[in-house]
Amino acid sequence: MKNLENKIAIITGGGSGIGKATALKFAEQGAHVIIWDISDDRGKEVAQQINNNGGQAEFFHVDTTHKSHIESAAQSIFNTYGHIDILINNAGITKDATLLKMTDEQWDQVISVNLTGVYHCTRIIAPYMVQNNYGRIINASSVVGLFGNFGQTNYAATKAGLIGMTQTLSKELGRKGITVNAVAPGFIATEMIQLMPQDVLQSMEAKVPVKRLGRPEEVASLYAFLASDDASYINGAVIRIDGGISL
C-alpha cells in the first residue's frame, strides 16, 4: 500500500539533497509531488526523473524569500487540484561565520530563507488546508537548533525559531485537521557535505555513536511517515534523526 496515494505534496528546496530524496520517496509512496526550488535545472531534473519512473511530479520556480512567488504557485496548484495536503518546509541555506566576523548580510540572508520563508509558505498554504480540514506541515529544523553550533549563530537561530513556530502552529492548526511537526537532522551526507575534505568527514563520523553520517533517504523516510495518516496523532513533535550525536 502506498501511504501517500493521491496526496498533493509541496516540497521546498526539492531539487537537491534531502529535498530531492524526499521528492523521490514521496513519489514512490503515491504522492503527486510539487517541487519548489530556485534552481530550474535541478528542480526539472528531479521532476523528470520521477515522471520517467512512473510517478507524478512537476516543478515550479519558487524563491521562498519572495512572497509573490509563493502566492502565485500555491494558487495555481489549488486551482488545478482542489487541495494541498502536505507542505515540507525543507529549503534552507548556511552562511557560516563566528559572531565577531558575521556580516549583517549573512545574518539577513539566512533569516530570510530559513525562517521568514517558512513563515510565508506556511501562512499562505495553511488556509488551503483549512478549507479541506486536512494537512501535514513538516519543518526542517536541525540539532543545531536544539544545542547550538560554533560559527552558526544565524543558522542556529533560524532552526531554533522553527521549533517554536512548529509547536505554536501545532496548537493553532491541530483543531483544523492539520498537524505540524519538525524534524531535526544531525550530520547528513548530502552533496554539500560530501564535498568536504575526507579527514573532516571522518572526524564528523567519529563523533556519531553509530559511526557514520546519515543518508538523505533516511530523513526522507521520516518525512514520509510524518506526512502519512499513520502519524495522524503526532502533532507538535520535534524528532531528532542524528545517529545519537545529540545525546
pLDDT per position as a tens digit, 237-247: 999 999 999 88
Give a yes or no: residue 3 inside a domain: no
Task: Tell me the C-alpha to C-alpha distance, in Å, between residue 220 and each of 90, 157, 245.
Answer: 11, 24, 19
Instruction: Report the DSSP pairing between strands 56-61 and 32-37.
Output: parallel
Can 155 be counted among the known catalytic residues? yes
Poorest-confidence range of 32-46, 105-119, 149-163, 180-194? 180-194
One-letter amino acid of 191? E
Interval 116-122 mean pLDDT: 98
Indicate which residue of 128, 134, 155, 223 is catalytic.
Answer: 155
Listed in sequence order, the residues at least 6 apart from 34 whose beta carbon sits closer than 8 Å to its beta carbon are 8, 9, 10, 11, 57, 58, 60, 73, 77
**Residue-level pLDDT at 62:** 98
pLDDT by residue (tens digit) across 22-71? 999 999 999 999 999 999 999 999 999 999 999 999 999 999 999 999 99
Give a yes or no: residue 199 inside a domain: no
**Residue-level pLDDT at 1:** 62
Give a yes or no: residue 26 inside a domain: yes
Q: What is the pTM of this model?
A: 0.96
Give a yes or no: residue 21 inside a domain: yes
Give a yes or no: residue 247 inside a domain: no
Interval 6-10 mean pLDDT: 98
Interval 79-94 mean pLDDT: 98
Residue keyed to cell 483549512: 130
Give a yes or no: residue 211 inside a domain: no
Containing structural domain, residue 56? 8-187+216-241
- CATH code, domain with 129: 3.40.50.720
Give a yes or no: residue 124 inside a domain: yes
Number of domains observed in the structure of the chain: 1
The alpha helices in 82-149, defined as continuous H runs, are 104-111, 117-131, 143-147
Listed in sequence order, the residues at least 6 apart from 91 whose beta carbon sits closer than 8 Å to its beta carbon are 12, 13, 19, 36, 37, 64, 113, 117, 140
**Residue-level pLDDT at 181:** 98
Average per-residue pLDDT in the chain?
96
